[in-house]
A and B are shown apart, each in its own frame.
Chain A
Amino acid sequence: MKLTLRVWRQQNAETPGAMATYEVDGISQDMSFLEMLDTLNEELILAGDEPVAFDHDCREGICGACSLVINGDAHGPERTTTCQLHMRSFADGDTIDIEPWRASAFPVVKDLVVDRSSFDRIIQSGGYISAPTGTAPDAHATPVPKPDAELAFENAECIGCGACVAACPNGSAMLFTAAKVNHLNVLPQGAPERETRVLDMVAQMDEEGFGGCTLTGECATACPKGIPLPSIAAMNKEWLRATRKVRR
């Protein structure tokens, strides 16, 4: 396959960036999208140019590191992570636009790499449980009703990649925060911090400069892990409950 790539190039957070055009040839349909970018970077390095910086780690679709907006879609045309997107989703001769996640809470570090530490701070504000240290308790010591377990697992699938924020026209982190809140709030292990968790995580989300939710549904459409839109309604319910019940 021969492709034309239009890639966002930006030296650092201070200097303005722009789209740059590259041609790549000899791309196999079996390559992943990141392997295609590796090919481009090898050519750039051989030519003495600076390679395109992009985030990646496990390349198995489970770590949440890769983060590219491909032709206007977070993680591209398939509902998966960028690393699990393959070149068979494109046609020979295509022009592909590659941009970083866009949100003021995700500043560009370089080229396609953005700083997602705002997500870490949301997790730090409440995405944990209090558990006694020592011998690990038996896994079946605390019974969890099956529907609750399934709800927790569904929300726990979130890998924190930030595609929801990238897809949202308001740069809102509601789906991410909702997944993390619901995951712990439905479980007995998360019960002691149930109220403070949702209040603190939503407050931190606002503090980081993410936008509000207008229920466009773009986040759930883009999510590679299929976190459902009703998770947001479930978090809103938790938040309203917490404002009435919290004891500080």
Chain B
Amino acid sequence: MTRTLWDSTVGKKTIMAVSGLIMLGYLVAHMVGNLKIFFGPGEFDGYAHWLRTMGEPILHYEWALWIVRVGLVAAVVLHGISAYQLSRRDIRARPAKYVHKRPRASYATRTMRWGGIILVLFIIWHILDLTTGTVHTSFEAGHPYQNVIDTFSTWYGNVIYIVAVLAMGLHVQHGFWSAAQTLGVGNATRDRVLKTLANVLAAVLTLGFISVPVAVMTGVVS
């Protein structure tokens, strides 16, 4: 069955759908966690610390966090490899372009591939900036509240973040609905519900994530 999944375009799309939904679930949790910044450094830093102690005492310190991280990396890798292989196939299947051009499909649909690349680059920067602190000049481990304010006090930190969040919103808008079709959940009667759900998810995630840099820029959070 694994072979059938991996060798088929429908199977690879299934892998993309499932891995995408796993990442989407993580995004919702991540966004909710981010919003704790509005309740002050105590709550935000406390939450960051709890992420490391969650699962205790059955799990050791940071084990649960590492399990989540491994799962997410697996999802990103499977999603990316499938997308790359399917995209290569799609481009080969349509070698000659039409002379008479017109825009095909919605903006969100057309930007899935570039959007995905932007998101991968962003995730790498985001981890180096706020998890490891490699590219963060005044990074202090264990003080995420201050680190977040540092990042969003620079113009480039805001630009990179907001562009990536907008790309994420578009990706989720088409991706969620697409995943439903790929997993066979979609049908004519459910279509409007699924499209609405995709739009709501995309909008809530985009606004939720963008609220943090906007709050820092406007001085609501400092």
Binding site for B on A (CB under 8 A): 6, 8, 19, 69, 71-73, 97, 99, 102-105, 167-172, 199, 202-203, 205-206, 209-218, 228-230, 232-241, 243-244
What range describes how many residues of B lie at the interface?
Answer: 35 or more
**Whose C-beta in chain B lies nearest to the C-beta of A239?**
B10
CB closest chain-B residue, reference A215 = B178
Q: Taking the nearest CB of chain B, how far is it from the CB of A153, in angstroms?
A: 14
State A129–B105 Cα separation when bound (angstroms): 36
- Contact call B92/A230, Cβ cutoff below 8 A: no
Partner of A69, one of B12, B93, B98: B98
> B182 in the interface, Cβ–Cβ < 8 Å?
yes
Q: Which residues of B contact A167 (CB under 8 A)?
A: 104
CA distance A196 to B124 in the complex (A): 43
Contact at B90–A240, with CB atoms within 8 Å?
no
| Residue from the set B90, B101, B106, B112 with the largest chain A CB neighbour count within 10 Å | B90
> Taking A102-B97, A170-B90 as contacts, is the C-beta distance between A243 and B5 under 8 angstroms?
yes
The reply to whether B100 and A99 form a contact with Cβ atoms under 8 Å apart is yes
Partner of A214, one of B10, B90, B92, B100: B90
A203 to B7: give the CA distance in the assembly, Å: 9
Indicate which residue in B12, B101, B102, B112 contacts A212 across the interface (CB closer than 8 Å): B12
* Residues in B174-212 with C-beta less than 8 Å from chain A: 174, 177-178, 180-188, 191
Alpha-carbon distance A167/B185, docked complex (angstroms): 24
Contact with A along B73-100 (1 / 0, CB 8 A): 0000000000000100111111111111
What are some 18 contacts across the A-B interface (CB < 8 A)?
A: A99-B98, A103-B94, A104-B94, A169-B105, A171-B90, A172-B93, A202-B8, A202-B10, A212-B90, A214-B112, A214-B178, A215-B177, A215-B182, A216-B105, A233-B185, A233-B186, A236-B14, A236-B184
Indicate which residue in B98, B110, B174, B183 contacts A72 across the interface (CB closer than 8 Å): B98
List the A side residues contacting B7 at CB < 8 Å. 206
Residues in B neighbouring A237, C-beta threshold 8 A: 183-185
Residues of B within 8 A of A99 (CB): 98-100
Query: Are A169 and B174 in touch, CB under 8 angstroms?
Result: no
A-contacting residues of B (Cβ < 8 Å)? 1, 4-5, 7-14, 86, 89-102, 104-106, 109-110, 112, 174, 177-178, 180-188, 191
A102 touches B10 (CB 8 A): no
Residue of A8, A199, A205, A240 contacting most chain B CB atoms (<10 Å): A240
Distance between Cα atoms of A102 and B4 in the complex (Å): 28
Beta-carbon contact of A243 and B1 below 8 Å: yes
Q: Check B92–A104 contact: CB distance below 8 A.
A: yes
Chain B residues whose CB sits within 8 angstroms of the CB of A214 once the complex forms:
90, 109, 112, 178
> CA–CA, A244 to B5, complex, Å?
11
